[in-house]
Amino acid sequence: MLGGGRPAISRVLPMFLVAVVSGGCGSDATAPGGPQGEGALDPSPQEVPSEAAAWLKSTVSPFGGTHLSLPHDDLDVLRDLVGDARIVALGENTHGTRDFFEMKARILRFLVEEMGFDAFLIEATWPESNRLDRYVRTGEGDVGQYLTGLYFWTWRTEAVLEMIQWMRSHNAAGGSVGFYGFDMQYPGMAVANVVRYVADVDPAMLPETEARLACLARYANDHRGAFPSAPYAEAGAPFQTECLASLRAEEARLVADRDVYVVRSNARAFALALQSLRVAIQYHLVEVDDRSRDEFMAENTAWWARQLGPHSRVVLWAHNFHVSTRPGAQGAWLRQIFGDDMVVFGFSHEEGAFTAVTQHGSQYANLEQHNLDPVLPGSYESFFATTDAPRFFLDLRNRNLSTAASSWLSGPLRFRSIGCCYDPGLTENYWTTTTLPTVFDVVIHIRRTRATTLLPARYPTRF
C-alpha cells in the first residue's frame, strides 16, 4: 500500500479503515498531492497525431480478457517480454481495480505453468503471508481468515481469493508455487514468531528474549491488526533508541546461537525466526523515519530470492509506484540488485470504477466505489485510447523515440496514479508527471475496468 502515517489516524478511524489508511495512502510519491516526476508539461496539449495512433496500433500486443481461467494462447507474447528474467514485477494503477487483480493472477498462472515460475510475492505483511504459503502448499487452515489476516482490505477480494485457490489446486496436483509477503508495517506477529521460536528451541532463554522484545511488543498490533492507542512513533527518542539497541541485542544473540538452534530445529525455521526479528527492526526504523518502507520491501524481496535459491523465478505484486524504478521506489532498489534480471509491468486504464477509501482533505470516510475521472488530454492514457484494442501489452524497451510517430512516448506526460484513498473533489491530484519508459519496461493497458469485490472480514483468532 502507498504511504505510512499509521499512528496519527489509527486512533480515530473505525477498524475496517485502519488497515488500509495506516498501511496505505500517505507519504509515498504517488499519494495525492499534485503532479510529480520530471519535466514541464505543455499547458495546451494537442490532439494525438494520426501517425502516433497508427504507430500504437501496429506496435501493441492485444489480449482477450483478464480472468485466470482463460486459455494461455493470447499471452504467448509474455515469452518474449519476460525472456529469462528471474523477477516479473506487476503493478496496479489503483488498489481497488478488479481487472488489474484478475490480469495479474492470469499472468501468474501463465508464468507458473508455461515458464517455470515458482514464487509469488505481494505487498503484504511478511510474517502473516507465511500462513498463506502453508495453505497453498498443504491446504491446512482457513484461507478466508488468513486473507483477512493480512490486514489490508485491498487484498481481501474475490479476485485474490480465486488466485490463492488456483495456487492451492496447482500444488495439490503436484506443482510447487509459494506465497510470500515483503512488507513490514505490522510488527505484532513478527515479535510473536521470535518468542515462539525461542520457547521451542531454548526455553531457558525465553524470559531474556521476552524482556528484550517487550519495548516493541507493548506498541505492536494484535491479531486483528489493531494497534494500541499510544503509538510507537510518539514514544520518544530516548525510549526508541534504547528499544532498537535491545532488539539488536536479541538479533546478535540469535546469530551467535545459530549453529545450536539450527540443530534443535532446522535451517529454515531459524531463518524465519531471524527474519521475523529483522522485520520488527525494520518497523522501528520506518516509524522513526530513519529508513524508507520501499527500501525494506526491496530488502525483504531480495531476502526471499536468496532463500528460494538462484533458480527460483518470482512474480511480484504491488502498486505501480512501488514496482516502478522511480528514485526511492522498491523497483529502483531492486533494479540495483537484479538489473535486467527483472522486468517491470505498469498498469493503466481509461474509464470505469474502482474501490477506495473516500477522502476529503485530511479526513477519511467510507470505503466505497468511485468512478475514474476522464482521461486528461495529452496524457499517456489519451494516446492509449486511440487504439482499437480494449486490452494490450506495450513493450517500452529499445524503442526508437526520435520519430514523429513515437516521440510522444519519451514524455514527460501525465499518467494516472491512485492508491488506497481517493478525494473526488481533487481529481487533478491523481495524475503524476513521468516518462514511462524510464519507470516501466512494459505497460498493460485496459480500456475499461471494474471495482474489486470485497469479501467479509474474518480475522484469525491468534497469531
- CB neighbour list of residue 307: distance below 8 Å, 6 or more residues apart: 268, 271
Where do the domains of the chain lie?
30-183+313-449, 188-290
What CATH number matches the domain at 30-183+313-449, 3.40.1660.10, 3.40.1440.10, 1.10.486.10, 3.40.640.10?
3.40.1660.10
pLDDT at 13: 41
Q: Mind listing the pLDDT tens digit for each residue in 149-163?
A: 999 999 999 999 999
The whole-angstrom separation of Cα 88 and Cα 456 is 30
Average pLDDT for 400-425: 96
For domain 188-290, say whether CATH 1.20.1440 is its number: yes
Average pLDDT for 31-53: 58
3-class SS at 178?
strand
Do residues 145 and 94 make contact, with C-beta atoms less than 8 angstroms apart?
Answer: no
Specify the pTM.
0.92
Q: Mind listing the pLDDT tens digit for each residue in 292-347?
A: 999 999 999 999 999 999 999 999 999 999 999 999 999 999 999 999 999 999 99
Max Cα distance, the chain (Å): 75
pLDDT band at 408 (very low <50, low <70, confident <90, very high): very high
Average pLDDT for 257-262: 98
pLDDT at 290: 87
Closest by CA to 365, choosing from 417, 427, 421, 425, is: 421
The whole-angstrom separation of Cα 61 and Cα 79 is 12
Return the C-alpha torsion angle 406, 410, 414, 418, nearest 10. 100
- CB neighbour list of residue 69: distance below 8 Å, 6 or more residues apart: none
Fold matches, 30-183+313-449 and 188-290: no
